[in-house]
């Protein structure tokens, strides 16, 4: 018998797409391209205006779709297509860092969309050097890594920052695992496919016994390479909240089962990650924006060889939370940066 993934009667998960018009694209680009704001805090301080600018450019139905994404537990992935990008991008930043003012259009779109969704942009002090934006590029030194800065090897299905507490779990001395994750494409490589799989689609194909094993703390979760410190924690892979909604921390590269039963359950979960019927493939085009509920969606990227010619694939990542209560801030001056 297959497991009923929720205790409440919530509609099946859906994936919405929003397509911006030419006029909306132009209005947003014209408003953002001359912005000169320096540093993460300056952009966060301007988010009301950034959100208002996007709101006045898009249609009421598109605004409604943005707002409902956060509120509706059945909506776990949303794709926005046709956002403007900066005309003068410069070379792909292989070092993994670029000041947000160097891409004012992309930065403004990212912060403005989060503002309309009422999502708080956040970062972690020991991950990505505490910076809001991570540039997902093939690093010159890290191409062999299985991470967002790697390229040659396939980056397996995962939830970002999985060793941190999931939404149903209490927080004490460390911030919670990111609730939202977004990726905006500035440069594409049509040979590189990414995909994401909704947790609910996986759970619907697993037996109740397998799910119960995944909910036991019989897995070692290693802290990802994007953090500046090593750490291994014993945790469950799946946690059920009081609302009956499941959260997941699976990470292909950083999960080790500790019992025979845990290993068997992991095999069943990983079999579903190869199920073509529930995979959602995406080949990013410039101006594409994917936002997912990080603990409710597993995402991956195929391996590829970068050309190192300044025009390689380039995405920008941002994390978000429903509220800053989900993180333990490092200080009052930068409340969006959480301890980890």
Annotated binding site for Fe cation: 299
Please state, in angstroms and as integers, the Cα–Cα distance from residue 338 to each residue in 48, 127, 257, following that order: 22, 10, 29
Q: What are phi and psi of 92, to 5 degrees?
A: -55, 130
Taking the C-alpha atoms of residue 96 and residue 231, their distance in angstroms, rounded to an integer, is 23
The C-alpha angle 86, 87, 89, rounded to 5 degrees, equals: 70
Which residues, 6+ apart, have CB-to-CB distance to 292 below 8 Å? 76, 77, 78, 180, 181, 182, 196, 299
Greatest distance between any 2 Cα atoms in the chain:
58
C-alpha dihedral over 151, 226, 113, 86, to 10 degrees? Answer: -50
Q: Please give the DSSP secondary-structure letter assigned to residue 288.
A: -
What region does 29 belong to: left with phi over 0, alpha with psi -120 to 50, or beta? alpha
Q: What residues pair up with 282 in beta bridges, in sequence order?
A: 194
Q: Which two tokens stand for residue 127?
A: 């991950």
Q: Which two tokens stand for residue 279?
A: 């995979």
Chain centroid to CA 204: 22
């Amino acid at each position: 018998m297959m497991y009923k993934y929720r205790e409440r009667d919530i509609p099946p998960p859906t994936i919405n797409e929003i397509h911006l018009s030419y006029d909306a694209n132009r209005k947003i680009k014209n408003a953002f391209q001359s912005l000169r704001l320096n540093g993460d805090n300056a952009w966060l301080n301007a988010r009301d205006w950034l959100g208002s600018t996007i709101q006045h450019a898009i249609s009421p139905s598109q605004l409604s779709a943005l707002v409902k994404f956060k509120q509706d537990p059945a909506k776990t992935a949303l794709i926005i297509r046709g956002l403007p990008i900066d005309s003068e991008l410069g070379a792909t930043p292989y070092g993994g860092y670029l000041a947000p003012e160097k891409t004012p259009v992309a930065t403004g779109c990212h912060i403005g969309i989060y503002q309309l969704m009422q999502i708080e942009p956040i970062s972690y002090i020991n991950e990505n050097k505490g910076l809001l934006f991570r540039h997902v590029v093939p690093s010159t030194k890290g191409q062999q890594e299985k991470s967002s800065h790697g390229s040659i090897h396939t980056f397996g299905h995962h939830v970002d920052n999985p060793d941190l507490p999931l939404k149903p779990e209490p927080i004490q001395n460390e911030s919670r695992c990111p609730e939202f994750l977004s990726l905006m494409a500035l440069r594409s490589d049509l040979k590189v496919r990414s995909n994401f799989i909704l947790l609910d689609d996986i759970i619907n194909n697993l037996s109740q016994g397998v799910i119960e094993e995944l909910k036991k703390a019989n897995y070692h979760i290693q802290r990802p390479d994007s953090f500046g410190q090593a750490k291994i924690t014993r945790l469950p892979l799946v946690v059920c909240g009081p609302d009956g909604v499941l959260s997941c921390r699976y990470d292909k590269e950083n999960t080790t089962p500790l019992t025979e039963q845990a290993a068997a359950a992991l095999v069943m979960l990983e079999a579903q990650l190869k199920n073509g019927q529930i995979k959602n493939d995406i080949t990013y085009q410039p101006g594409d924006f994917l936002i997912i509920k990080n603990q409710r969606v597993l995402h991956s990227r195929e391996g590829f060889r970068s050309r190192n010619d300044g025009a390689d694939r380039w995405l920008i990542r941002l994390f978000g939370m429903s509220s800053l209560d989900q993180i333990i801030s490092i200080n009052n001056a930068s409340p969006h940066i959480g301890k980890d």
